[in-house]
Amino acid sequence: MKINVLYEDNHVLVVEKPLNVLSQGDNTKDKDLLTMVKEYIKEKYNKPGNVYVGLVHRLDRPVGGIMVFAKTSKAATRLSKEIREHQIKKYYLAIVEGIIEEDRGTYCDKIKRLTNGNSIISKDGKESILDYEVLERNEKANKTLVKISLKTGRHHQIRVQFSAHSHPLCGDQRYGKEDKKQIALYAYHLEFIHPTTKQELIFEKLPPKIDHWTEFTVSKYVH
The pLDDT score that the predictor gives to residue 165 is 97
For the chain, what is the mean pLDDT? 95
Contact 126, 112 (CB under 8 A): yes
Residue 197 has pLDDT above 90, yes or no: yes
φ and ψ at residue 34, rounded to 5 degrees: -60, -45
The pLDDT score that the predictor gives to residue 2 is 84
Report the share of the chain in percent with pLDDT over 70. Answer: 100
* DSSP tally for the chain: helices H, then strands E: 3, 11
Q: Using 50, 70 and 90 to split pLDDT, how confident is the model at 178?
A: confident
As a residue count, the chain comes to: 223
- Verify whether residue 60 is a known catalytic residue: yes
Q: Using 50, 70 and 90 to split pLDDT, how confident is the model at 22?
A: very high
CA atoms of 221 and 206, how far apart (whole Å): 9
Strand, helix or coil at 210?
Answer: coil
CA atoms of 135 and 68, how far apart (whole Å): 26
Candidates 9, 30, 32, 60; catalytic one: 60
pLDDT in tens, 79-104: 999 999 989 999 999 999 999 999 99
pLDDT in tens, 28-86: 889 999 999 999 999 999 998 889 999 999 999 999 999 999 999 999 999 999 999 98
* Angle of CA points 223, 98, 121, to nearest 5°: 95
Paired strand residues for 203: 190
DSSP calls for 70-106: ESSHHHHHHHHHHHHTT-SEEEEEEEEES---SSEEE
- Residue among 108, 214, 203, 197 at smallest CA distance from 161: 108
